[in-house]
Structure 1
Amino acid sequence: MGSKTKPVRLADVARAAGVSHGTASNVFSRPEVVRDEVRERVMAAAETLGYAGPDPRGRMLRAGKVNAIGVATAEPLSYFFDDPFARAVMSGVSEACDRTGAGISLVSAANGEQLAWNVRSALVDGFVVFCLEDGSRLVDLARERGLPFVALSFGQDDPTIAALGVDDVAGARLAARHLTGLGHRRIAILSLEFDAGGHGPATREKARTAAYSATRDRIAGYFEAILEAGIDPASVPIYETLNDEATTQAGLDHFFSVANPPSAVLCMSDRMALVALDWLARRGLSVPGDVSVVGFDGVAEGAVAQPPLTTVAQPMAAMGRRAVEMILAFDGRIRRETMDIELVVRASTAPPRAGV
């Protein structure tokens, strides 16, 4: 049986070049302090032995920094590329990392066991955590690492969790008040998940006990405005979606299969709202002539949709930038910051037709 070749170490190079280990180390890490002739001798020995230089991971780990930010989600890896909200946040993360010279490591997995391994083994200085589905699990895993992390959602009312988010109640209230102010009385809600994997017709009572706080808060904000307008909350249908095309379309099928369909739809994400615009157009329903649509996020695609989408805009790129800043400048203090939102009114909303 053949013997396994031992890896060439820096000590081997130093011995072959006839210099101390410290001098050989300086050749690779601080070459300017080594005389030219010595540096050339060490490099020649390294080339002869096949030594490519010290592993940068070891040097960075010894220094306590690897100069990389982990961005973690319990969604599949494709989420970072397919979801317009994630793409907008990642543009801010990338901008902040470019500015500071830090790298980015995307951390996700198709199952909980693999996710745990990926979080525990990621070579990063801290985590930006997308607290969408299974957010509490991600928070627990990030906390176990003992590294700084920032959750992009308040998720849990836990003051020990650093978080960046928006006031979801206020944002949803803005969206619903806009529709009631235009005169809409038949309003339907396309909701994010209440609990993992849930989808289908839902009730306001179920929403009150939803596991996900963003869903609970947005439902609460919608109904604050609906009640202010004197609309019977029992007349407002809710459809829980997976924030994807299939379940959003199923929700629209449900809303528009009745005798008196809604004149307006509140969507808890721009992704849903953009699907709704396409669905309504394919069925010959005019937006906003027949149906008004309001989204939530403020993604770039909404501005160029047909028609351009009215939405509650979150500062997504700014959230990504700020999250990176909080991790790189972490001083031991836990910060929870609420970022500003605004209602952006575009051409997807208008008063209902007379008599509607």
Structure 2
Amino acid sequence: MSQVVRLSDVAKAAGVSQGTASNVFNRPDIVRKEVRERVEAAARALGYSGPDPRGRLLRAGKVNAIGVATAEPLSYFFDDPYARVLMTGISRACDLQGAGISLVSAANEEKLAWNIQSAIVDGFVLLCIEGGTRLVELTRERKLPFVALGLEHDDETISMIGIDDHAGAHTVAAYVADLGHRHFAILSLQLVDGHVGRVDDAAIAAAIYKSSRERIEGYRAALAERGIDPSTVPVFETENDRTSVMAALTELFDSAGPPTALLAMSDRIALFALDWLAERGIAVPAEVSVVGFDGVPESAYSEPPLTTVSQPIEEIGRMAVELIFDDAKETRRLSVPVDLTIRQSAAPPPADRA
């Protein structure tokens, strides 16, 4: 095995002290030119590329970088429209701070633990879409500041930024019901890992993802207030992907009495639904109304433009970065407002089904 070349080896070969050799790499302006050239020549001859920057950064106490961590694959940051807007907010806030970004992700828990432990950052923004509890556990071990987004359980010791999922879902369901709809279906984000398809009340009550459960409860509350029995509203759990959404829609519309309104728990689900309905020749909103949740940019340019619950996604990213660099010792728990964005994907139902 080849021997690791250290700074002390370079100093010895150049006939200088280790402190002088260190200055050549870290503060070259204070070293005489001939000494600097001699040390650099010795380093090249020995194959020494310079001090490990990680050690220097850690000794300084700050590395001026934010880690953005999720248990999803790295492709999530680029494929998911919500994640893309969030990263825009995070990157712009980091630009203002002159800070870098490290994306921390892994497809399995073993690699996730290693990536969290080895990331050279000043703090973490945790995208708790999935595996949020484990993300928090691993990050706490680093003893660095962190902010959780979308954490699925209430822990008053964790700084987090979130929205009122129940209120947002209630608002959009009330709007659609007030248009005259009485036949609904809910296209849900995951309630538990590894399951898709129709779910019953017991599965909803046992959901491990709090935001999914709260959105269902918000939809149902608004419908019940308007005389619609929630037990008549089918709920289909999806993986927020095209395959599971299309499977749900096939089951819904191949049955007798399909819905006239779809309550999609994300804009991504709603956009997949619009594609599927267009392929089937089902007119939106003349035959079926579709509404989403999130307010991603793509929702404004769909055909037709999507009515949705809009979150200030980019602002959430900016706030998260500011909390990390704020160095506040106390726990911060912030709730940001959502708005109903009304576009052309929802209208009164066909007269014969009102």
* TM-score normalised by L of structure 1: 0.93
Instruction: Kindly provide the amino acid, as one letter, of the partner of residue 215 in structure 1.
Output: S
Alpha-carbon distance between aligned partners in 1 of 2:177 and 2:5, rounded to the nearest angstrom:
73
- 1:327 corresponds, among 324, 328, 331, to 324
| 1:235 has 2:232 as partner | yes
- 1:123 corresponds, among 110, 120, 125, to 120
8 Å contact from structure 2 (residues 133, 151) kept in 1: no
Alpha-carbon distance between aligned partners in 1 of 2:35 and 2:175, rounded to the nearest angstrom:
75
Who is 1:189 aligned against? 186
Who is 2:144 aligned against? 147
Q: Give how far 1:35 is off.
A: 4.1
Alpha-carbon distance between aligned partners in 1 of 2:217 and 2:259, rounded to the nearest angstrom:
20
Q: Give how far 1:160 is off.
A: 0.7
Q: Indicate the larger mover: 74-83 or 99-108.
A: 99-108
Who is 2:251 aligned against? 254
Who is 2:80 aligned against? 83
Q: Which runs of 4+ in 1 moved over 6 A?
A: none
Q: Give how far 1:41 is off.
A: 4.1
Alpha-carbon distance between aligned partners in 1 of 2:339 and 2:147, rounded to the nearest angstrom:
23
Q: Give how far 1:245 is off.
A: 0.9
Give the 3-state SS of the residue equivalent to 1:340 in structure 2: coil
Instruction: Could you tell me which runs of 5 or more consecutive residues in structure 1 were left unpaired when the two chains were aligned.
Output: none
- The 5-angstrom pairing of residues 243-282 of structure 1 reads 243-282=240-279
8 Å contact from structure 2 (residues 188, 265) kept in 1: yes
Give the 3-state SS of the residue equivalent to 2:352 in structure 1: coil
Who is 2:8 aligned against? 11
Alpha-carbon distance between aligned partners in 1 of 2:208 and 2:9, rounded to the nearest angstrom:
58
Alpha-carbon distance between aligned partners in 1 of 2:76 and 2:43, rounded to the nearest angstrom:
44
Q: Give how far 1:85 is off.
A: 1.1
Count of aligned positions: 353
Instruction: Kindly provide the amino acid, as one letter, of the partner of residue 294 in structure 1.
Output: V
CA distances 1:15-64 after superposition (whole Å, capped 9, x unpaired): 34444322332232223333445444443443444432211111012222
- 1:64 corresponds, among 55, 61, 64, to 61
Instruction: Kindly provide the amino acid, as one letter, of the partner of residue 175 in structure 2.
Output: H
Q: Indicate the larger mover: 204-213 or 244-253.
A: 204-213
Instruction: Kindly provide the amino acid, as one letter, of the partner of residue 303 in structure 2.
Output: Q
Give the 3-state SS of the residue equivalent to 1:140 in structure 2: helix
Give the 3-state SS of the residue equivalent to 1:355 in structure 2: helix
- The 5-angstrom pairing of residues 283-322 of structure 1 reads 283-322=280-319
Q: Give how far 1:241 is off.
A: 1.0
Instruction: Kindly provide the amino acid, as one letter, of the partner of residue 159 in structure 2.
Output: A
Alpha-carbon distance between aligned partners in 1 of 2:64 and 2:180, rounded to the nearest angstrom:
53
Instruction: Kindly provide the amino acid, as one letter, of the partner of residue 331 in structure 2.
Output: I
Who is 1:347 aligned against? 344
Who is 1:337 aligned against? 334
Instruction: Could you tell me which runs of 5 or more consecutive residues in structure 2 were left unpaired when the two chains were aligned.
Output: none
Alpha-carbon distance between aligned partners in 1 of 2:118 and 2:4, rounded to the nearest angstrom:
24
Alpha-carbon distance between aligned partners in 2 of 1:270 and 1:5, rounded to the nearest angstrom:
55
CA separation of 1:48 and 1:109: change in aligned 2, threshold 3 A: closer
| 1:55 has 2:45 as partner | no
Instruction: Kindly provide the amino acid, as one letter, of the partner of residue 106 in structure 2.
Output: A
* TM-score normalised by L of structure 2: 0.93
Root-mean-square deviation over aligned CA pairs: 1.9
Q: Indicate the larger mover: 59-68 or 35-44.
A: 35-44
Alpha-carbon distance between aligned partners in 1 of 2:38 and 2:340, rounded to the nearest angstrom:
67
Alpha-carbon distance between aligned partners in 2 of 1:202 and 1:282, rounded to the nearest angstrom:
26
CA distances 1:210-234 after superposition (whole Å, capped 9, x unpaired): 1110011101111121111111112
Alpha-carbon distance between aligned partners in 2 of 1:226 and 1:205, rounded to the nearest angstrom:
19
8 Å contact from structure 1 (residues 76, 108) kept in 2: yes
Instruction: Kindly provide the amino acid, as one letter, of the partner of residue 61 in structure 2.
Output: G
Who is 1:112 aligned against? 109
Alpha-carbon distance between aligned partners in 1 of 2:295 and 2:45, rounded to the nearest angstrom:
58
| 1:176 has 2:173 as partner | yes
Q: Indicate the larger mover: 204-213 or 302-311.
A: 204-213
Alpha-carbon distance between aligned partners in 2 of 1:339 and 1:42, rounded to the nearest angstrom:
56
Alpha-carbon distance between aligned partners in 2 of 1:283 and 1:189, rounded to the nearest angstrom:
19
